[in-house]
Amino acid sequence: MTEEFSSGETQDGGRWKSLKSLFRRERKVSILVDGPNLLRRLGNRQIKIEDIDEVAEKLGSIVDRYVYLNHHASDKLIEAMVNSGYNPIITRGDIYVSLAMKALEIWKRDRCDILLIGSRDARVVPILMKLKEKGIETAIVGFDPGFSVALQNVSDYAFELN
């Protein structure tokens, strides 16, 4: 007779996991966010970094969080990103070049199974294609208007924030 155990809480408040989860390796997820393109108001709704975290947690365990900001980012925004657990990377040049460099660094260090990129811009397509070529699953998070169809088609997983 086989028994399945589900997760729960012990009497002393400790957590225990299901027997199945002990034998299943959870996938590692790294997040790279195109801040100027994604962290903006959508109609009367502000896209929050927590929305991206929720998507990533559905895919696996988050191991890296980076947000790319341009040199116009306010100190308040930078502080908010740090408080949310993100490593802000401020760049004066093309954000997509820096994002590509970090994606390849993560691949080279074998840091993740899935790389999730938050962006709506088709300039991310070559990055996703190169990562897939290297054996990393890719995910994209964006929103309309302007969520590139090419991004959605080339990534393994596509999520649209409403």
Question: Does some domain include residue 15?
Answer: no
Q: What is the CATH number of the domain that holds 156?
A: 3.40.50.1010
Q: How far apart are CA 136 and CA 103, in angstroms?
A: 10
Question: Does some domain include residue 20?
Answer: no
pLDDT in tens, the chain (162 residues): 433 434 444 444 444 445 554 455 688 999 999 998 888 777 776 788 999 999 999 999 999 999 999 989 999 999 999 999 999 999 988 899 999 999 999 988 887 899 999 999 999 999 999 999 988 899 999 988 889 999 999 999 999 987
Residue with tokens 């088609």: 153
Q: How many domains does the chain have?
A: 1
DSSP string, 40-64: SEETTEE--HHHHHHHHHHHSEEEE
Question: Does some domain include residue 66?
Answer: yes
With H, G, I as helix, E, B as strand and everything else as coil, classify residue 99: helix
Question: Does some domain include residue 14?
Answer: no
CA torsion, ordered 94, 120, 34, 38, to nearest 10 deg: 130
With H, G, I as helix, E, B as strand and everything else as coil, classify residue 150: helix
Question: Does some domain include residue 18?
Answer: no
Q: What is the span of the domain harbouring residue 144?
A: 28-160
pTM of the model: 0.81
Helices vs. strands in the chain: H and E counts, helices first? 7, 10
Question: Does some domain include residue 118?
Answer: yes
